[in-house]
Structure formats: C-alpha cells, structure tokens
Amino acid sequence: MNKRILMKGNEVIAEAAIRAGCRYYFGYPITPQTEIMHYMALTMNKAGGTFLQAESEVAAINMVYGASAAGGRAMTSSSSPGISLKQEGFSYIAGAELPAVVVNIVRAGPGLGGILPAQGDYFQATKGGGHGDYRNIVIAPASIQELYEMTVEAFNLADEYRMLVMILGDGTLGQMMEPVLFREEEPIVESTKEWALTGNKGRVHNSIQSIYINPDDLEAKNNELQAKYRAIEEKETRFEAMETDDAEVVIVAFGTCSRICRNVIRQAREQGVKVGMIRPITLWPYPSEVISELAKDSSVKAFLDVELNAGQMIEDVKLAVNGVKPVYFHGRTGGNLPSQKEILDLIMNIHKEVNQ
Amino acid sequence: MIDYSIILAGFGGQGVLSAGKMLAEAALIEGKEVSWFPSYGPEMRGGTANCSVVISDQVIGSPVINDTDVLIALNRPSLEKFEKQVKPGGIIIIDSSLVKTGTTRKDVRFFPIPSSEIANELGNMAYATVVLLGCLSAASGCFMREAFEKALYDVLPERRHHMIPSNLDAFDQGVQLVKK
C-alpha cells in the first residue's frame, strides 16, 4: 500500500484509530467532525469492534470510561460544544487514571457559535475544563499526514501514561483533503493493563474509581498524578522549529494557523525580513523551554503569536518569554482565518518598530 | 510551482466539489503536493458550493485561499463573489451557458466556455465540469490530460469505467476551446 491517497482529515482520524487498535468508538454527531463517526459506523464493525451512537456526549464519554476500564482501546470525538459536555467525564478519567483518546475538531464559539474553524478551545483543552488538578496530553496536528500519525501515537501515549490524550484539530483540518501515506504496520505499543477490570478469577480484584475520602490518601493520589505530569513534561514535549536560527521575528502558531504562517515566513524572507516559527505540536506539555531560549537570543527582537481566537496560547508564550522580549498578537474569531497579507503586514510593522 | 491555487464555485449539485477532487487526484498522480478544502456546513442542493484546491511542488501552507490564480465559476453569484480574489494575470473560466455576464476584471485571462451546452450535447450534464477542467489544463498547465485519465480510472468504480471515453471527449473539447 505504498501509495499516497487523498483523504479527508476526519476520515483519516477514524482510519488511524482503527489501525491503532481502537475497538470501541462512542460518539454523537456534530459538525465539523461528523465524518469521524460516519467512517467509524462503516468500518468499526468490520474491524471486529463496537461502534455506538450514544444518546448524548455525556453518555459517550462515560462509555469510553467503561470500555477503557475493561482494558479496551476506546475513543470519542466531538466538536467544541460537545466537548464542553464531556468535561465531567474527562476529570473522572483523569482521577481514575484511565487511557482514553478524545478528538476535538474545534468550531467557533462561544455557545453554539458557528461551524467554521477556530482555536478558541485552547484554554479548555490545556488548562482543564473539568474540575480538580489534572492534565490531558493535547496534540495539535497541522496536516492530514500528521492527523494519521499522531492519532496512532495518541493511543500509545494514553496507554503508557494511563490518561486522556486529546487530538485538537479545527474545522479546516477535519474537512480538508490531502494525501496520506499509511504504514504497512502500525507501531502499536502493547500494554498488559494489569489494572483492568477483566474478571478477578485467579487474582485479587481490581478497583477503578476516583473517590478518596481520606484527605491524606487523596493528597498522595494527587502527588502521584503530579509526578506523572512532570515526567510527561520532561519526555513528551514536542514542537517544530522553522527557520529560527537567524530569525528576528519568531511566530508562534499551531495547527491550521501554522500553515498560513509557513507561507508568510517565505514571503517575509523574500522581502529581506528574517522570520521564523515555533510550532507547538503538544499544547500540553507546552514547549516553553525552546521559546525561553529563543527569547534570550540576541538576534530575536520580537515574538508574534497567531491564533484563531482572541488570545489564549499567548499566555503560555508570555510566560515562556518572561518579559525578555515583546510579544505581539494577531487573532481572528468567528470562523474567519487570517490572510497571509494581514500577517505579513503586521510583521513588517513589528520589524520596523523593534528596529527603531 | 509554488502553491498554485484554484477556486471552483457554483450551485450545490453542479459537481464543483467532485470536479475539485478530480483535479486534486490528477495533480497527486503527477507527484505534486495537493490540498482540497470545501465550503462545508448547512449547504444544500441549489445553494452555493465551492472548494479550494492548491497544487504545489513543496509542502502546502494554507489550504484556504485569499488570492487565487484561477477561478472557475459555474454561476453568476460565484463569479461576482470570487472574481476580485483572482490575482492580476490570473485566469477566470466561466460556464457561459449559465453565466451571461463577462468579468469586470481587465487584468486576467478570461475564458467563457459554453460547458453546459457541450455537456448537454454529450448527453450528461455531469460533463460540464469536465469541459471546464480541460479548459483549466490547457490554459494553466497545472495538470495534464494523462494524469486526469489515470485519475478517472482511480476514482470511478469499475462499473462506471465505460464513461471514461466520454469524460475524455468532454475534457478535449475544453482543451480545444482554449486553443481557439
């Protein structure tokens, strides 16, 4: 199967999940991610798994909890308003330390909002959304090939760390087609899941829950979780650096935004302005270190954070830059995308300003 | 070729999304990078539909097009909506059977092609977009007939392969109209 084929982002996610050994999919339709469900409905049965259209998003996430507790690779997908409904389940999954993969193909909010692409769920995805001290690994692909590879990886990470891994895309990535090259065999990391509820014949019974009435027990549990999160920050932070070696202006952008900025970098350099980009691939853990290092670099004059929201990731950029260099922002909302020209014009102005 | 962009637009049901997909498949067969992005959401038959196709020799930046190299318009609202986005020196192709106006742009290459009439003569309205793809190929060189033919074999199910000669006929008529 050594041939690139043209596929829609949403369909690629579903295909990747099945290839990664996902055998339980629960969902509820919502634009712009419904093709994931559609593809699952057509193929999950053939793969010997279970596809179920739940009665609601809340039901779907709790079905994921159950299937995962029983040792299966399980996932759900939705778009922004539907993901809001799942937050309680996210917190319980974190508390019970269950592996799960959740896809959020973000649409414009708040409220019912619109169906067009946005990145307004950055805060919700990376800072919580549910209650309590917990983290989810959040991966932000920027192409259809990455949607495939990172969805497969999400299942491995979920099993390894026993936690929820979110694929955070947007309507553009879900709806667009691009060539994808599938591997002959997926790099599935098998996990023994000795904690799973598989029937206790011949062993002490397992228990999966998130209730700890004794405060010391709960604090110990929290400490354990935090230690796990610190280890993930060490090991699993991912980003792409583009032409940052000599950059005077460093763009920070993820997902679809980073693609638009990729063109802008080329155009700016044609006009003699050295622009580079840090593209966070994991939004949590966040690639703070590389941004801090660049901030200290004398050739870097300024940062420009570009997002499809009113300014969310910029808080993480500013924390990393820590006041050493100015951080500018450009964002669009409502489902609109910035044009290359508006970003380029802004960069030219920034470049003038910081070189005065 | 760096990020050569094409917008195909018309009424829902005219086949602009499928035509865009065929174009993307043909470019992929030629070894190019390609992206296809549709208007999506509460679209319906008779409403407007469009898609953006980008073809490139390198990794594609934005799949969403602000300034386009080519516009293919199958109805008047699409021409009016998108003609201002065509780059100077770009190409506008219209189905002149359906769009009775010209373009207001003087700085583009303009091809009014009676593709619906040609499709009607060929006995299948679905060929209208194929005529326009032939025109696109000849006017821009962004993909070649051989790749389009291969794409037809790839995309069409075998029970539809008998339609490939007529598709190529429609394509060639589009090519000839440009050469005139």
Summarised one tens digit per residue, pLDDT across range B102-141 is 999 999 999 999 999 999 999 999 999 999 999 999 999 9
| pLDDT value at B175 more than 80 | yes
A279 has a chain B CB within 8 A of its CB: no
pLDDT at site B12? 86
| pLDDT value at B145 more than 70 | yes
pLDDT at site B44? 66
Domain boundaries, chain B: 4-179
In order along chain A (356 residues), what is the average pLDDT of each group of 10 residues? 90 98 98 97 98 98 98 98 98 98 98 96 96 98 98 98 98 97 95 94 93 98 98 98 98 97 95 98 98 98 98 98 98 95 97 93
Summarised one tens digit per residue, pLDDT across range B14-27 is 999 999 999 999 99
pLDDT band (50, 70, 90) for residue B3: confident
A172 has a chain B CB within 8 A of its CB: yes
SS3 at position B46: coil
A341 has a chain B CB within 8 A of its CB: yes
**Residue A164 to residue A136: CA distance in whole angstroms:** 5
Domain boundaries, chain A: 5-235, 239-354
> Nearest by CB to A263, which of B24, B34, B61?
B61
B150 has a chain A CB within 8 A of its CB: no
In chain B, which residue's Cα lies nearest the Cα of A115?
Answer: B41
Q: Within 13 Å of residue A36, how many CA atoms lie on the same side as its CB?
A: 35
pLDDT at site B42? 63
pLDDT at site B45? 67
Residues in B closer than 8 angstroms to A178, CB to CB, are 34-36, 60, 63
CATH of span B4-179: 3.40.920.10
pLDDT at site B70? 98
Each as own residue / partner, the long-range contacts of residues A191-200 (CB below 8 Å, 24 or more positions apart, any chain) are: A191/A99, A191/A159, A191/A160, A193/A71, A193/A159, A195/A97, A195/A162, A196/A69, A196/A70, A196/A71, A197/A69, A197/A70, A197/A71, A198/A70, A198/A71
Tell how strand B4-11 and strand A282-284 pair up.
unpaired
pLDDT at site B141? 95
A179 has a chain B CB within 8 A of its CB: yes
Summarised one tens digit per residue, pLDDT across range B39-91 is 886 666 677 899 999 999 999 988 988 899 999 999 999 999 999 999 999 99
What pTM did the predictor assign?
0.96
pLDDT at site A1? 54
Domain A239-354 grouped into CATH 3.40.50.920: yes
Contact A178 B62 (CB under 8 A): no
Contact B24 A116 (CB under 8 A): no
Measure in Å the smallest separation between the Cα of A222 and chain B Cα atoms. Answer: 42
In chain A, which residue's Cα lies nearest the Cα of B155?
Answer: A6
Selected from 3.20.20.70, 3.40.449.10, 3.40.50.970, 3.40.225.10, the CATH number assigned to the domain covering A5-235 reads 3.40.50.970
**Residue A156 to residue A267: CA distance in whole angstroms:** 38
**Residue A153 to residue B26: CA distance in whole angstroms:** 31
Here the ipTM equals 0.94
Matching residue, tokens 């199967």: A1
Residues in A closer than 8 angstroms to B31, CB to CB, are none
pLDDT at site B43? 63
Contact B42 A115 (CB under 8 A): yes
What is the identity of the amino acid at A317?
V
Distance in Å from the first CA to the final CA of chain A: 56
